[in-house]
Amino acid sequence: MTQKEKIQQEIEKTLDSLNGMKRAEANPFLFTRIQARMNRKSGGWERAFSFVSKPLVALAMLALVMAMNGWSYFGNSIPAETLVSDTETASLPEFEREYKFITSTDSYDYENANDE
């Protein structure tokens, strides 16, 4: 028998080596392990992450963040007409009197007046 024929014979034997093999058996505790994994999956963080990673929730959160960004940029830049006008400044003491505000500046002026 030549070397080539011997090799061919080896190949055939190897290809046949799976004939009659038995099925591998799974771990007898497979179900218990599956249950444990499912319990872990259904609890706490994983549930929170799965909720947050839902496309609809993620998009809604993105839209909210963008809206807040927009508001902080455009909403906080005070337009010129909303600045306190001179007349409004003039009416401030009236406002203070009405609500009996005593500011530190007032008391300082008062003390100074006594000194004089």
The binding site for other proteins (CB under 8 A) comprises 3, 6-7, 10-11, 13-15, 17-18, 20-27, 30-31, 33-34, 37-38, 41
**Closest separation in Å from C-beta 76 to other proteins:** 45
Residue 74 contacts residue 80 (beta carbons within 8 Å): no
Please give the Cα distance from 75 to 16 (Å, whole number).
78
Instruction: State the DSSP H helix or E strand holding residue 107, giving kind and residue range, or none if neither.
Output: helix 104-115
Shortest Cβ 20–other proteins spacing (Å):
7
Q: Which is nearer to other proteins, 21 or 90 (CB)?
A: 21
Residue 44 Cβ vs other proteins, minimum distance, rounded to whole Å: 17
Q: Which is nearer to other proteins, 18 or 84 (CB)?
A: 18
Give the integer Cα–Cα distance in Å for 17 and 22.
12
**Nearer to other proteins (CB atom), residue 45 or residue 99:** 45
Burial group, residue 65, by CB count within 10 angstroms (0-12, 13-18, 19+): exposed
- Quote the least distance from Cβ 69 to other proteins, whole Å: 35
Instruction: Please report, in angstroms and rounded to a whole number, the separation of the first and last CA atoms in the chain.
Output: 132
